[in-house]
Structure 1
């Protein structure tokens, strides 16, 4: 059977002047030079396997290889099936395949030009490379049916280093499938929440980032879902030196759009269920949790200062200070850390903090499971 990839390759070879316009994650692109010859030889594309990956919306691997004396390509492409919205499913598959086809054709042209130039100048020639791998980071279980794909593309077409680009696809598997964005997960104030956490993480490791290049996230920002976290991804050279690779920032999933009805969810700390304790959601879509009940279950001693409206937490050598309405969390007397959400006190007099407080400040592990949230000490 002729695959869409084969059709795309033939169309590209027969109409070299045509351009495929694609939507997707922006990143460094291979720049194609115009070949001297009108058409180039068609290189056979060999489908090696269809490897199943068992997920609710099934994803299989389409293996594509191609090579000659100027380049080598080894591509693992995800093929989605089993979605409720078959039209959207076809569109996503077409997008991913067409993007790979364009990149391969671009690489072939560039590789041929590089060889021609190296031969004319008497320089050593190094064949170009293109590879793709992918991971299904979320199969929809525990994330409200969100399928999350992480695709890594490595391109080498000359120079000292190759380029690694990350593309992510997040799709809500419903009767009418929809693209999932950071705004979908975090609400209208997603930029305030996420930007604050990324800036705080960059400040901790300032020598390895270009702080002035970080312009904030938007609805086109790359991210993927894995476990109970969102990982916001940046491309090489975007906010850090090339040697840093593709920076990622881990942020706890905040919204009940992925975790279900918070009021009915069971809260488990270090294996023990907490009774009479509930999570809540603020207007920005951030999950809030009662700091005293959870922290005491994690082994911390708490002391309330009425004058400063601050709560002190102590566990061995670990010391933390939290103040009402201040998005400034002090840990082990170091510089304050911003989590994008300040502590609040509810009408019953209980202080609530964002769920990220337990992962980022208390260094605990948070896992969203079916009908429950589990928090445990990592040490």
Structure 2
């Protein structure tokens, strides 16, 4: 297991370049002999009746490169022909990119002899399921394919490709035009420009012109999340940007209850004593980070002004007073900054659903998480 894409959490305006050089340009230790590819499989627990994704991982390494392909194998779609074609395309694309990198790595190694130090390449493909195609998800299967590589230089790169499919007898790809109408570009361009104006310190000035004809996006909770790749509208340190737009006619998100501060907090069916929520600026629900994260199995640590939230391979970082929540592949804005109140660190309640990807809901007398 390895991690090509270093989190953006500790990159500052002054130290960005040096940090990347230190964390990403160091050569890896490889075995002297090539190692045969290793394949492992793990099932993902998904709601009954939903489309299922099985994780298939193929690992390989030698003196020139190290690779790890975690390719989803989709099952349970109504349209089996579409399902089989999609599975074949996902695998073919990942393997084609890997073969191209293998050749490039070998050629680079040969050219480096007596000229410069060759650093082994790295290539990784993984995925993230967003919605499962069930009735509760509006019949839409939505997921990301995340491709990362290091081919020498100061740092690697990451790209996110998205897939949105209607799980019907005759499946089809979901298009932004279908969701937002004929004027979808005008509508979404306004949303993007508003986000850039609200966070001008993050984005390149005067760079964004329009969303692309094939704009990557995914669907979740009645919103379309537009995905912008590294350097597309913001510097490398800002990460892959995701900007959300409410889909017309979709069910609005549950309003923050007026009695939020009096509601109990339940996580995994357990009531958490001493943890309180409140309504912050702009009517955004704020929740105690440590109390909730600990119950969800995350560890919190403070590091040079950053707060790290870690669990296994999932790593998120944030700063007090900054509306930027950094994962390994993206930075998310939530409309509110982390704040200290009564010696407790609070974050927007949406941090847990949008960043940590856990379920958050309101009941009559409680906020229910997980």
When normalised by structure 2's length, the TM-score is 0.58
**Partners of 2:258 and 2:168 in 1: CA distance:** 34
Distance 1:218 1:51, change over 3 A: same
**Given that residues 73 and 129 in structure 1 are in contact (C-alpha distance below 8 angstroms), is that contact kept between their aligned partners in structure 2?**
yes
Alpha-carbon shift at residue 205 of structure 1 (Å): 1.9
**Partners of 1:51 and 1:211 in 2: CA distance:** 44
Distance 1:168 1:375, change over 3 A: farther
Describe the SS at the equivalent of 2:240.
Answer: coil
Most deviating of 205-214 and 77-86:
205-214
**1:126 is aligned to 2:126:** no
Alpha-carbon shift at residue 101 of structure 1 (Å): 0.7
Which runs of structure 2 are paired with 1:283-302 in the superposition (5 Å)? none
User: Which segments of 5 or more consecutive residues in structure 1 lack a partner in the other structure?
Assistant: 1-41, 273-314, 320-358, 368-372
Most deviating of 97-106 and 214-223:
214-223
> 2:257 is matched with which residue: 270, 274, 278?
270
**1:116 is aligned to 2:110:** yes
**1:73 is aligned to 2:60:** no
**Partners of 1:201 and 1:316 in 2: CA distance:** 20
> 1:136 is matched with which residue: 129, 146, 165?
129
Describe the SS at the equivalent of 1:113.
Answer: helix
> 1:246 is matched with which residue: 227, 231, 240?
240
Which runs of structure 2 are paired with 1:68-107 in the superposition (5 Å)? 68-107=62-101
Describe the SS at the equivalent of 2:201.
Answer: helix
**Given that residues 170 and 224 in structure 1 are in contact (C-alpha distance below 8 angstroms), is that contact kept between their aligned partners in structure 2?**
yes
Q: Deviations over 1:31-52 (max 9, x none)?
A: xxxxxxxxxxx98433212423
Question: Runs of 4 or more off by more than 4 Å in structure 1?
Answer: 266-269, 315-319, 373-376
**Partners of 1:93 and 1:136 in 2: CA distance:** 14
Describe the SS at the equivalent of 2:154.
Answer: coil
Most deviating of 156-165 and 211-220:
211-220
**1:185 is aligned to 2:172:** no
Distance 1:50 1:374, change over 3 A: closer
Distance 1:180 1:318, change over 3 A: closer
RMSD (Å), alpha carbons:
3.4
Find the counterpart in structure 1 of residue 218 from structure 2.
Answer: 224
When normalised by structure 1's length, the TM-score is 0.56
> 1:52 is matched with which residue: 16, 41, 44?
44
Alpha-carbon shift at residue 191 of structure 1 (Å): 1.4
**Partners of 1:75 and 1:240 in 2: CA distance:** 28
Q: Which has the larger radius of gyration?
A: 1
**Partners of 1:232 and 1:216 in 2: CA distance:** 12
Which runs of structure 2 are paired with 1:355-370 in the superposition (5 Å)? none
**1:147 is aligned to 2:134:** no
Find the counterpart in structure 1 of residue 157 from structure 2.
Answer: 163
Alpha-carbon shift at residue 218 of structure 1 (Å): 4.1
Describe the SS at the equivalent of 1:133.
Answer: strand
User: Which segments of 5 or more consecutive residues in structure 2 lack a partner in the other structure?
Assistant: 1-33, 260-278, 284-333, 337-347, 354-360
Q: Which protein has greater RCO, CA pairs closer than 8 Å, 6+ apart?
A: 2
**Partners of 2:281 and 2:335 in 1: CA distance:** 17
**Given that residues 186 and 255 in structure 1 are in contact (C-alpha distance below 8 angstroms), is that contact kept between their aligned partners in structure 2?**
no
Distance 1:60 1:215, change over 3 A: same
